[in-house]
Structure 1
Amino acid sequence: MHELTFFPRGDGLTLAELASLTGASLGEGADPALRIAGIAALSEAGPQDLSFFDSKRYSAELSATRAGCVLVSPKNVGLLPSGMPALVTASAAIAFTEAGRALFPGAVLPTPATGSHGVSLKADIHREARLEDGVTVEAFASIGPGVEIGRGTIVGAGAVIGAGCRIGRNCRIGSNVTLTHALVGDRVILHPGVRIGQDGFGYTAGPAGLVKAVQIGRVIIQDDVEIGANTTVDRGGVRDTVIGEGTKIDNQVQIAHNVRIGRHCVIVAQVGISGSTTLGDGVMIGGQTGINGHLTIADGAQIAAVSSVAGDVPKGARWGGTPAKPVRDWFRELMTLSELAQRGRSPRKTDE
């Protein structure tokens, strides 16, 4: 069977063009006319591929690579194999990302699964929905009454857009997404299986058991947000759930009702954020972290992976652990426990 690729190579770019694009400089002896058509890891790259090196742990792969060119920082130029063409830049990883976007522009945004554009005859669109010109709706998508969708947006196969929702321009609504009680800005990406706007987990204990509370808020997703596959965002109970512009959310994240997330935050896979918690701008949350409800994590704070946050986190702080605390305190505790375990005695035991 022939090799199958979902992102075919184009004509590529010369080293001179890549240098101009990324702000890199040509390494000694590099041919500015050398054409690069793809990107690959050091161990898998071929003569037409661009790779990058930014950690000495990959020195063996660097010495054996067949890459046509390697992006490298000035401090690592001396580790390159003799005769290896290089582009020298302060940040090889950032330059590699920019080059990849230029070489494979079709991979930057999700495209229609069927490869076709326009409104499918198999889609169910309510007569009171309003779609601007240039909207794509794939087969078996369902769009309810009062929905408004801006031009350039793609609604994937099997997606459900509930009554009254608003979706801006140039958005990507993945296959089998459900979107209800929500207002969505421009250039938003919702990957397959995302659930937006369902009621949150809200109950009041009564004499006869738990009584379900109504959830009458909305979800507001601002411009340039990206939400990974199978993530859930509950609508607000008595205030809106809000995700600020530019925020990136990984797969399988749970965001509860009334949560407010600031701008340009990063939330990694399997994070759970309980109700009525507020995240400031630029907050970063590591994977598998749990955050209690009614907390504030202030601007620029960072939480290490697999942590449990039980209290407010100050601006710019770096916390981790269970319960989460400043990273220095957390590391000090871990070192103390490790030393005690190695000595095989408790801190209360004294020498006789």
Structure 2
Amino acid sequence: MSESFFKRGQPMTLAALAALCGASLENGDPADVVVDGIAALDTAGPRDIAFLENPKYGGLLAETRAGAVITSRRHRHLARAGLPLLMTAHPSAAFATVGRTLFPDALKPQRLTSPGISAQAHVSSSAVVEDDVTIEPFVVIADGVHVGSGTVISAGAMVGPGCHIGRDCSIGPGVSVQHALIGNRVILHPGVRIGQDGFGYTPDRNQLTKMVQIGRVIIQDDVEIGANSTVDRGAVRDTVIGEGTKIDNLVQVGHNVVIGRSCVIVGQVGIAGSVTLGNGVSVGGQTGFKGHVTVGDGAQIAAVSVVAGDVPAGARWGGMPARPVREWIREMATLTAIAKDRRGAERDDGNGNDA
């Protein structure tokens, strides 16, 4: 692996890694080979482990210098002679397990200073800070805040009055938290904004009158929110993000939104106010949601879609406006064929001659 900001992990044998991630070594592959890093197939060295799941990159198995590769049995014939292979039905999941083990510090924003409370931080005398909390320079902890043990609040972050942050959380540099209750093991990456007022205005004669937003943000356990994403507080209800949900960078979550458990929301998604997403919903990047729509459990929304109406549980929708994927594909194929026929007609004068 090339030079990295993360130190190499504790060396592990292939036998230990195979047991860790539920993979199996091919007969004759050396179980005692030691690796301590992860890398891509084309940049890996002899002490790195790589993986192959997408057949698009299958040709690299013949050229890689990796110490070992995690892959599936359907790709083993592509490997160079002597390359140790860890076989599994789910290579990317196994590779993720190996990476988490070798580089646990890469799972959340790194601590910038020594443990403890910096003398350059402002912590209110009425705040409750449990043992083993790190509060870095220029952090502001306001009145009545409660911070659980094992939590790290990074430089320049702000936690507003009355907020609760659970245990073993990671609050990244420059994060602001207001009007919020946050569970355990939550990760907020740099620049995240939690609990600011939502975009609420009502027409009043020839002007817009701002509506107050007096709700909260509730973030349950094991949620991760990417850099520079925003979660508005509720208007008269709470904005809620369910446990285990993962939100990418640059996502906007409007007021009164309720997101269920174990959802995946990819970058540049915009969710307007009072939208409800069920449990296990997946949303592709650059998708927009109209206010007050409901998406059922387990639904999947394709990237670059516009969701303007309710989506049934388990459905796969996409397009602008979003509709069932098969219907969307048929419509696109029909429009393409019509456009092609029209272009042909415009080139022909009706007698077989060019117009």
Normalization by structure 2: what TM-score?
0.95
Report the alpha carbon displacement of residue 340 of structure 1 after superposing the two structures with TM: 1.6
Mapped partners of 2:26, 2:175: distance in 1: 47
1:109, distance to aligned residue in structure 2 (A): 2.7
Q: Determine whether 1:105 maps to 2:123.
A: no
Per-residue deviation, 1:91: 1.0
Following superposition, the deviation at residue 294 of structure 1 comes to 0.5
Residue in structure 1 matched with residue 204 of structure 2 by the alignment: 206
- Cα drift, residue 60 of structure 1: 2.2
Is 1:228 matched up with 2:207? Answer: no
The alpha carbon displacement at 1:346 in A equals 10
1:71 alignment counterpart:
70
Aligned partner of 1:135 among 133, 136, 152: 133
- Size of the aligned set, in residue pairs, is 346
Q: What code does the residue aligned with 1:289 have?
A: T
What is residue 328 of structure 2 aligned with on the other side? 330
Please say which of residues 4-13 and 275-284 is displaced more in the overlay: 4-13
Q: CA shift at 1:58, angstroms? A: 0.9
Aligned counterpart, 1:248: 246
Task: Give the Å deviation of 1:62.
Answer: 1.4
Q: Does 2:29 align with 1:18?
A: no
Letter in 1 for 2:213: Q
Residue aligning to 1:124: 122
Q: Distance in 2 between matches of 1:333 and 1:346?
A: 20
Secondary structure at the counterpart of residue 319 of structure 1: strand
2-side partners of 1:12 and 1:315: how far apart? Answer: 45
User: 1:90: how far off?
Assistant: 1.1
What's 2:31 paired with? 32
Q: What aligned pairs does 1:59-208 form with structure 2 within 5 A after superposition? A: 59-114=58-113, 116-208=114-206
Amino acid at match of 1:7: F
Deviation per CA, 1:187-237, whole angstroms, max 9, x where unpaired? 000000000000000011112411110101000000000000000000000
SS of residue in 1 equivalent to 2:255: coil
The letter for the 1-side match of 2:69 is V
Given the two structures, how large is their TM-score scaled by the length of structure 1?
0.96
Identity %: 59
**Inter-partner Cα distance in structure 2 for 1:140 and 1:242:** 29
Q: Within 2, Cα distance between the matches of 1:344 and 1:316?
A: 38
Amino acid at match of 2:42: S
CA gap 1:346/1:223 in 2 versus in 1, 3 angstroms: farther
Cα distance in 1 between the residues matched to 2:262 and 2:302: 17
Tell me, in whole angstroms, the C-alpha distance in 1 between the residues paired with 2:290 and 2:7: 45
Q: What is the alpha-carbon distance in structure 1 between the residues aligned to residue 254 and residue 100 of structure 2?
A: 34
Q: Residues of 2 paired with 1:103 and 1:162: CA distance?
A: 36
Q: What's the counterpart of residue 52 of structure 2?
A: 53
Cα deviation digits, residues 257-294 of structure 1 (max 9, x gap): 00000000000000000001100000011000000001
Whole-angstrom CA distance in 2 between matches of 1:10 and 1:264: 29
Aligned-partner SS, 1:344: helix
Maintained 8 Å contact 1:340/1:346: no
1:302: which partner in 2? Answer: 300
Deviation at 1:102, TM superposition (A): 1.1
CA contact (8 A) 2:58 2:75 kept: no
Q: Does the CA-based 8 Å contact 1:29-1:83 persist in structure 2?
A: no
Deviation at 1:4, TM superposition (A): 4.5
SS in 1 for 2:256: coil
Query: Relative to 1, partners in 2 of residues 1:124 and 1:264: Cα closer, same or farther, differing over 3 Å?
Result: same
TM-aligned CA deviation for residue 345 of structure 1 = 5.4
Unmatched runs of 5 consecutive residues or more in structure 2: none
Aligned partner of 2:214 in structure 1 is 216
Q: Which deviates more from structure 2 when the two are superposed, residues 164-173 or residues 78-87? A: 78-87
Match of 1:315 among 297, 313, 316: 313
- 2:250 is paired with a residue of what secondary structure? coil
1:272 to 255, 270, 273: 270
Aligned Cα RMSD in Å? 1.5
Residues 119-160 of structure 1 show CA distances to partners (whole Å, capped at 9, x for unaligned) of 000001111111001110000000000000000000110001
**Residue number in structure 1 paired with 2:41:** 42
2:194–2:231: 8 Å Cα contact kept in structure 1? yes
State the secondary structure of the residue aligned to 1:70: strand
State the 1:111 CA deviation.
2.4
CA distance in 2, matches of 1:293, 1:154: 35
Distance 1:4 1:80 in 2: 26
Which letter does structure 1 place at the counterpart of 2:20?
L
Gaps of 5+ in 1: none
CA distance in 2, matches of 1:38, 1:161: 37
Shift in Å at residue 78 of structure 1?
1.6
List structure 1 segments (4+ residues) > 4 angstroms apart after TM superposition: none
CA contact (8 A) 2:59 2:78 kept: no
The letter for the 2-side match of 1:261 is I
